[in-house]
């Protein structure tokens, strides 16, 4: 298997990346398991910029295949907030506090105006340093309370039809989620690249 380093130590993300990439012959390890301790400042104005910042920081040290993602929630009634600040919304890194803040800000917003989406940007840097970017979106709306135990982050308040993202099974979530879509686009790219190198 070829090895790829995920520019994160988030176990939830690592699991999602492995589920889609390992069947393609990639061993995905976290930057922590690779012995890399780097935490670059994510000062980009878009998810794609922040994803690239993280990937480049790890690639500069490892000089091997690296993958990074930046993702978050965009709420239309909040002008796109929390956006690139999703992980530190309200000045904290606590998921419960983030969800409470969004729900509080939308307290008087009617159902039809609670539209939102998750966005994921994935940056892949191959062994030679070539960069590629992939975007995935997951449309839904914000509910009125936390529901479900399967997800993390904003999943418990993000509604997909009548259930929350945190009530979807891992397989159901991978099939429709922003990260799943971006990962499948990456998987198609890696498969095509593999075929091209074989020819």
The residue annotated as part of the active site, out of 33, 37, 69, 70, is 70
Task: Using alpha carbons, list the distances in angstroms from residue 9 to 12, 25, 35, 144, 187.
Answer: 9, 21, 11, 31, 21
Say if residue 75's pLDDT is above 60. Answer: yes
Asked if 112 and 131 touch (Cβ cutoff 8 Å), the reply is: no
The per-residue pLDDT for 171 is: 82
Residue 106 and residue 157 in contact, taking contact as beta carbons nearer than 8 Å: no
pLDDT in tens, 115-131: 999 999 999 999 999 99
C-alpha to C-alpha distance for 101 and 28, rounded to whole angstroms: 34
Is 69 tagged catalytic? no
Domains in the chain, please, with CATH? 2-198 (3.90.950.10)
- Segment among 10-14, 62-66, 182-186 with least mean pLDDT: 10-14
What's the confidence (pLDDT) of residue 180? 86
């Amino acid at each position: 298997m070829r090895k790829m380093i995920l520019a994160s130590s988030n176990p939830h993300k690592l699991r999602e990346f492995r589920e889609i990439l390992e069947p393609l012959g990639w061993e995905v390890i976290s930057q922590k398991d690779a012995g890399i301790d780097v935490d670059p400042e994510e000062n980009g104005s878009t998810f794609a910029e922040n994803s690239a910042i993280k990937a480049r920081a790890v690639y500069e040290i490892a000089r091997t295949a690296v993958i990074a993602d930046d993702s978050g929630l965009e709420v239309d009634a909040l002008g796109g907030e929390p956006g690139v600040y999703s992980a530190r919304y309200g000045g904290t890194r606590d998921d419960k506090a983030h969800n409470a803040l969004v729900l509080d800000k939308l307290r008087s917003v009617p159902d039809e105006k609670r539209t939102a989406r998750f966005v994921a940007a994935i940056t892949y840097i191959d062994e030679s340093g070539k960069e590629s970017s992939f975007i995935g979106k997951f449309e839904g709306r914000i509910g009125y309370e936390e529901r479900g135990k399967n997800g993390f982050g904003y999943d418990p308040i993000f509604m997909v039809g009548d259930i929350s993202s945190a009530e979807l099974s891992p397989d159901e979530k991978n099939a429709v989620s922003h990260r799943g879509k971006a990962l499948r686009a990456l998987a198609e790219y890696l498969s095509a690249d593999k075929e091209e190198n074989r020819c």
